[in-house]
Amino acid sequence: MRKITTLARSLALVLLAVVACPAQDVHPVTKRRIAQVMGPGGADWLVRPERVEEEHPDQALDALKIARGSTVADIGAGVGYFSWRLAERVGPEGIVYAEDIQQVMLDMLDRNMKARKLSNVRPVLGTIDDPRLPVDAVDLILLVDVYHEFSEPQKMLARMRESLKPGGRLVLLEYRGEDPNVPIKVEHKMTVKQVRAELEPAQFKFVESIEILPQQHILVFRK
């Protein structure tokens, strides 16, 4: 209970530092309220030590069996918490496109990659409706606790689909909306039913929901 209370308190503070992205407030299909984007003021929260125990990031990536030499994209990469883990998995022959819509976040990400001596991460400044990834070039797109913040979800899905290679995977990590004990605001959680209802009309095929994390779904789709 103490861990849950601490997480809830920390997230409440972080959500004070958000970026306004004027667009849709409610998803037209599921009527889900779209969350605000976390701003640079939440950067420290993204790399908090407790995150390893709360989210098991390495276990999540292990479950995806990412091949060496792959080209992957980390959408909403922030300061690169998952980007550097992806970079280590794809190796020097692979590429990680680390996308964010905030240049301040990408500046911090770039410093983090240099400190870790990783040269296979390419920062990409996207927009609210276009991640600006190369077409037919990406094996895996990863969205960690970010899809629910898309203010133009249909447009983003269309652009991401274009960037995936045939059979490429789109993977979402989202806090479980079905579980009232997950101490996150409703707009920052999603159910499997919601995600499928929003992604399948965008021509993504649902593959599986991997349920190995303490509080999050790992939802796998293919182009």
- When the pLDDT of each residue in the chain is averaged and rounded to a whole number, the result is 90
Residue 188 pLDDT grade (very low, low, confident, very high; cuts 50, 70, 90): very high
* Three-state SS at 57: helix
Number of domains in the chain: 1
d(CA 168, CA 95) in angstroms, rounded, equals 15
Classify residue 116 as left (phi > 0), alpha (psi -120 to 50) or beta: alpha
Q: Output the pLDDT for position 22.
A: 46
d(CA 83, CA 97) in angstroms, rounded, equals 8
- What is the extent of the structural domain holding 91? 2-222
Mean per-residue pLDDT for 55-71?
A: 97
Give the Cβ contact number of residue 182 at 10 Å: 17
Q: Output the pLDDT for position 16.
A: 37
- What predicted TM-score, i.e. pTM, was given to this entire model? 0.87
Mean per-residue pLDDT for 50-56?
A: 88
d(CA 221, CA 213) in angstroms, rounded, equals 18
Q: Output the pLDDT for position 80.
A: 97
Q: Output the pLDDT for position 221.
A: 98
Residue 10 pLDDT grade (very low, low, confident, very high; cuts 50, 70, 90): very low
Asked whether the predicted pLDDT for residue 6 surpasses 90, the reply is no
d(CA 188, CA 34) in angstroms, rounded, equals 8
For residue 126, the domain's CATH number is 3.40.50.150
Give the residue, 205 or 7, on which the prediction is more confident: 205
Q: Output the pLDDT for position 7.
A: 47
Residues 6+ apart with CB under 8 A from 197: 29, 30
Tens of pLDDT, residue by residue over 137-187, are 999 999 999 999 999 999 999 999 999 999 999 999 999 999 999 998 999
Least confident of 51-60, 106-115, 189-198: 51-60
Tens of pLDDT, residue by residue over 124-137, are 999 999 999 999 99
Percent above pLDDT 70 for the chain: 88
Q: Output the pLDDT for position 50.
A: 82
Tens of pLDDT, residue by residue over 23-51, are 579 999 999 999 988 777 766 767 677 88
Asked whether the predicted pLDDT for residue 4 surpasses 70, the reply is no
Q: Output the pLDDT for position 201.
A: 97
